[in-house]
Amino acid sequence: MLNMFSKIVVPYDNSELSKKALDTAITLAKQDNSIKLDVITVVNSNYTAYHYGVYAIDPIRKTQLEEANKMLKDVEQELSELPNQTNTHLIEGSPSASIIDFINETQADLVVMGSRGLSGLKEVFLGSVSHYVVQKSPCPVFIVK
């Protein structure tokens, strides 16, 4: 069954469930070293400041990007144990739309993500990002809970 899935995408926000999703994807990738693994994190940064050139040294955006980069370094550390081809990506934009664009552009064939993310609310089963991705993804979505 695993050779049905040769390109796996893990949307990662550093939440416990996204860590669990990453571990699941790593376990899947270990079954076959031709499986490619892409981990993406989307930073919803301040676009207004971003567009205004030299005045754009927006401290919040800078901190967000630095934190995301640090987080992806840790992910890369974890991925380095795999013989598979792996990549991490830092994208700026709306998380839901950027994840779907990435899946379409890279023609991924499986997404592995958490049911919930960083927001603490537990009343609903899916967060807004996982809900959107399940609805719009052209490929199967493996929801880790």
Which partner in ligand ATP, Mg ion, none is near 108 (CB below 5 to 8 A by kind)? none
The end-to-end CA distance of the chain, in Å, is 22
53: region left, alpha or beta (phi > 0 left; psi from -120 to 50 alpha): left
Q: What is the CA radius of gyration of the chain?
A: 16
Which partner in ligand ATP, Mg ion, none is near 104 (CB below 5 to 8 A by kind)? none
CB of 106 to ligand ATP, least distance (A): 14
CB of 94 to ligand ATP, least distance (A): 9
Query: Considering only residues 22-51, where is the footprint of ligand ATP by CB under 6 A?
Result: 40-42
Query: Considering only residues 111-130, where is the footprint of ligand ATP by CB under 6 A?
Result: 113-114, 116-119, 127-130
Cβ atoms of 37 and 25 closer than 8 Å = yes
Among 21-29, 39-47, 70-78, 116-124, the segment contacting Mg ion (CB under 5 A): 116-124
Which partner in ligand ATP, Mg ion, none is near 113 (CB below 5 to 8 A by kind)? ligand ATP
d(CA 50, CA 58) in angstroms, rounded, equals 7
d(CA 140, CA 124) in angstroms, rounded, equals 21
Q: Tokens representing 129?
A: 């990002």
The residue ranges that bind ligand ATP (CB under 6 A) are: 11-13, 15, 17-18, 21, 40-42, 95, 113-114, 116-119, 127-130
